[in-house]
Structure formats: structure tokens, C-alpha cells
Structure 1
Amino acid sequence: MTLSLIPYIITNGNGKEAVKFYQEALGAELSNFQTYGDLPDSPDFKVPEEMKDLVLHAQLRIENSELMISDNSPGEPFEVGSNLTIAIVLDDKAKAEKIYERLQADGEAIMPLQSTDWSEAYGQVTDKFGVKWQISVENSNNN
């Protein structure tokens, strides 16, 4: 079952400023906020010092809607126009796999669907129309 489709804004190192701006402009409530420095230590990924204060993930609630925000990683290209993605949040890994496969047909896999600290299955794909999607299965302990 698809739980929601959520606009996801990618910022260029000014994610904290964007979170504050959208909170005030939209009267939004901050429901989740993590920096890269909040990630647990991992031998697979050492967070560089310059990334620790950047926004890994912020989630704002605006009445019955949500908006997500994160900073791009240093060194990743940032292009205005491609800094808005759509996040699909699901509660079924098999459905996430099907959606991921269908969206990448004639498109491009950006990040393979995989287990992460925040999701049992998370991946990114750009579809054949150039739309970037983030597919995520909500962990039962995140509810």
C-alpha cells in the first residue's frame, strides 16, 4: 500500500535555512530533523567533517500535507530545476520493488533499492521523463 507521495526539495548546503523559511512561510510543524552528523558510525560510510552539519532529512507537516528537505552532498552537482523530487513512502517492500523497477524502465537507476538506517528498502531513480523519484519503505519502528 502506498502511504503517501511527498514533494522533496534538495538544497545546496542551505537546508537549515530552507527548513526555517518553509516553517515560517507555510506555518509548518517540524516533525523530523536529522543532520549527516546524526548518522550512526559505520565502517561503510564515514561522514566527512564538512557534511556533519548539513541536513540529511527534514520533514515538515503543513496541516494534512508534508514537505521533505535535504542538502545535496558536497561534490554532487546542484542544478536548479532538478532540486525537487517526489518521495513515495510505502509499507510493502514487494510493492516498492515493483514501483522501482517500473519507474526505471527507459530511465536511470540513481541508487539501487537497498536497506538503510531509516528504511528497509530505499532507492532513487530518474524516470524516462526526467523526474527523480525516491522510493522508501517505512520501517515499522518509525511510526
Structure 2
Amino acid sequence: MVKGINAYIVTNGNGQEAVKFYEEALDAQVISLQTFGDLPESPDFPIPSEAKNYVLHAHMKIGANELMLSDNFPGTPYTLGNQVGIAVIISTPEKTKTVFDSLSADGHIIMELQQTFWSPLYGQVKDKFGVTWQVSTISEAQ
């Protein structure tokens, strides 16, 4: 079952500043904030020292709504117009795969579905209309 969708903002190295801005401007409550420095270390994916404080994922609550945000990884192109996407939260891996496959039809897979430390199944896709989706399984227990 699809549990919900949230706007997802991508910033260019100033995510910490953006989170503080939305806290003040919109009375946002920060539910969680992880930095790239919080990622488990991997020799296959070293994190540059300048990126350790960049926001990997911030989750905020604004009134009855939720907003998510992350910094663009250093060295990855940042294009204005692509800085807002949609995160879709799904309750089972099977439904996550179905939704991901549907959204990727005639679109472009940015990140294949895979297990991450925050989700049993997560991926990113740009659909045929140019909308970026972050598809994630979040169980009821999470």
C-alpha cells in the first residue's frame, strides 16, 4: 500500500542552512537529520571530508504535512529545475517494486532499487514527464 507522498527538496551543499531556514520560516519541526558523515564507511564509496556535514536526509513536519530535503553529493551536477522531487512511501517491498517499475516505464532510472541502511528497498527514477521520484519501503515498525 502507498502510505503517502512528500515534497523532496535537493540543495547544493547548503542543506543545513535550508533546514534552519524552514524551521524558522515555516515553524518546521525536524523529525530527523542525517549527514553524509553518518553513512557507514565503505571503501567503494568514500565520502569526501568536505561532504561529511552535508545533509544526506532531513525529515521535517510542517503542520499536518511533511517535507524532506537532502544535499546534492559533491561532484554530482546540480541543475536548477531538478531541485524538487517527490518521495513516495510504501509499506511493502513488493508494492515498492510495482510502483518503481510503473514510474520507470518510458522514464530513466537514476538509482536502481536496492537495500539501504534506512530502507529495505529504495530507488530513484525520473518518470516520462521529467518528475523525479524517490521510492522507498518504510514498514509500519519504522
TM-score bin (small chain): over 0.9
Secondary structure (helix, strand or coil) at the match of 1:74 reads coil
Alignment match, 1:50: 50
CA shift, 1:44, in A, is 3.4
Query: Runs in 1 of length 4+ with deviation above 3 angstroms?
Result: none
CA shift, 1:64, in A, is 1.3
Label 1:38 to 1:6 Cα distance change in 2 as closer, same or farther (>3 A).
Answer: same
- Is 1:100 equivalent to 2:68 in the alignment? no
Secondary structure (helix, strand or coil) at the match of 2:121 reads strand
Secondary structure (helix, strand or coil) at the match of 2:123 reads strand
CA shift, 1:39, in A, is 1.2
Give the TM-score, by structure 2 length: 0.95
Alignment match, 2:123: 123
Alignment match, 1:73: 73
Alignment match, 1:29: 29
Alignment match, 1:15: 15
Secondary structure (helix, strand or coil) at the match of 2:24 reads helix
CA shift, 1:42, in A, is 2.6
Structure 1 stretches lacking a partner, 5+ long: none
CA shift, 1:55, in A, is 0.4
Cα distance in structure 2, aligned partners of 1:30 and 1:111: 26
Q: Aligned partner of 1:9: which letter?
A: I
Give the TM-score, by structure 1 length: 0.95
Structure 2 stretches lacking a partner, 5+ long: none
- Is 1:3 equivalent to 2:7 in the alignment? no
Q: Aligned partner of 2:4: which letter?
A: S
Cα distance in structure 2, aligned partners of 1:43 and 1:119: 21
Contact 1:118 1:139 (C-alpha < 8 Å) held by counterparts: no
Cα distance in structure 2, aligned partners of 1:30 and 1:99: 28
> Over aligned residues, Cα RMSD in angstroms?
1.2
Cα distance in structure 2, aligned partners of 1:76 and 1:40: 20
The aligned length equals 142
